[in-house]
């Protein structure tokens, strides 16, 4: 081979190595993105669970408040409504 052909081949080999590194980096980024998406989905599930727990607690507090109001009325110790 002549000198210019050798240079072109060497240039193409370097380009090929660089493309291989880019492909590896892209695969790594894809894996990391998938992991992040799974973590975000998990956070959404946890947030939904927390909201559901809060709704249950609110309902329980409402029932306790109703019962307490009834007890206060029966014992005639309720504060006068203004």
Residue 41 token pair: 């989905």
Cβ contacts of 66 within 8 Å, gap of 6 or more = none
Q: How far is the C-alpha of 48 from the C-alpha of 44, rounded, in Å?
A: 6
Residue 73 token pair: 């009325």
Give the tens place of pLDDT for each residue, 14-49.
999 999 999 999 999 999 999 999 999 999 999 999
Give the tens place of pLDDT for each residue, 5-18.
899 999 999 999 99
Rg of the Cα atoms in the chain? 34
Domain borders along the chain are: 1-75
């Amino acid at each position: 081979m002549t000198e210019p052909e050798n240079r072109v081949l060497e240039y193409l080999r370097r380009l090929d190595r660089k493309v291989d590194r880019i492909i590896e980096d892209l695969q790594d980024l894809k894996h990391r993105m998938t992991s992040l998406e799974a973590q975000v989905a998990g956070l959404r599930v946890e947030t939904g669970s927390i909201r559901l727990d809060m709704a249950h607690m609110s309902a329980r507090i409402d029932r306790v408040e109703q019962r307490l109001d009834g007890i206060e009325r029966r014992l005639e110790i309720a504060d006068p409504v203004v």
